[in-house]
Amino acid sequence: MTARREGVRGQVIGSPTAAYFWPSATIREFVAVFWENRVVNAVLCTLLVALAVVVGMRW
């Protein structure tokens, strides 16, 4: 994502991940992508919480 943002053209090749490391690697990458797009994600999370509150009030 950083290379794309800076305009660097290239190819990426991933390496195998051991099964025991997969959960923490997945969480790390999720947090990194979430943080990279934090403004959009904050807005979406706020809208989802607001929607849940509105729907909850109707019950």
Write the pLDDT tens digit of every residue in 8-57.
888 878 888 899 999 998 999 899 989 989 999 999 999 999 999 999 98
Instruction: Judge whether 13 and 6 are in contact, CB under 8 Å.
Output: no
pLDDT at 55: 92
pLDDT at 16: 86
pLDDT at 44: 95
Report d(CA 28, CA 24) in Å as an integer: 6
Report d(CA 56, CA 59) in Å as an integer: 6
| More confident position, 55 or 1 | 55
The predicted model scores a pTM of 0.55
pLDDT at 49: 96
